[in-house]
């Protein structure tokens, strides 16, 4: 019985080590300029921009700041899944490429998710404590988005 457990442990460890060889491309746009970037389209106040970059951009942009543990599989698989899902739902770097209707819809969804404390995800803020939105940060973002929505409504 002990031999069998030892063999299983050795095989498991070898599989774990082999998984470490797989390091897929990272979601990093480096110093790339994104002309369709959310912050380029709208006059985003610095405080709101910093909050969005700190709490949202890791999963909702083309520039993720990867922590040290992202080099360990299977953690990286889970992170990539969250990033891909987040970018599919909303990508701040591609915001300008969305239709006006889609932009309005995304702004509305951002407001609703912030009000309901659905974003940033609890699984993200568990490790990234500095990404938790304070009441003041929420208010700043919500007020600013309301102003943008009002200006979009007058344009249409």
For 125-142, what is each residue's pLDDT tens digit? Answer: 888 888 899 999 999 999
Q: Taking the model in full, what pTM does it have?
A: 0.74
- Residues in a beta bridge with 28: 63
For 27-80, what is each residue's pLDDT tens digit? Answer: 666 555 566 677 777 778 899 989 998 899 888 988 888 777 777 778 777 888
Short-list 62, 64, 48, 27, CA closest to 114: 48
Short-list 79, 86, 88, CA closest to 119: 86
**Separation of alpha carbons 120 and 114, rounded Å:** 8
């Amino acid at each position: 019985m002990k031999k069998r457990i030892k063999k299983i442990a050795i095989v498991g460890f070898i599989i774990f080590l082999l998984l470490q060889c797989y390091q897929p491309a990272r979601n990093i746009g480096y110093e790339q300029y994104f002309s369709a970037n959310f912050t380029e389209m709208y006059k985003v106040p610095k405080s709101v921009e910093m909050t969005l970059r700190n709490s949202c951009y890791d999963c909702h942009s083309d520039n993720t700041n990867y922590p040290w543990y992202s080099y360990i599989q299977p953690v990286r698989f889970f992170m990539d899944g969250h990033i891909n899902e987040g970018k599919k739902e909303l990508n701040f770097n591609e915001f300008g490429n969305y239709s006006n209707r889609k932009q309005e819809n995304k702004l509305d969804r951002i407001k609703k998710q912030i009000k309901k404390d659905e974003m940033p995800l609890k699984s993200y803020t568990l490790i990234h404590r500095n990404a938790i939105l304070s009441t003041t940060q929420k208010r700043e973002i919500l007020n600013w988005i309301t102003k943008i929505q009002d200006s979009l409504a007058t344009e249409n």
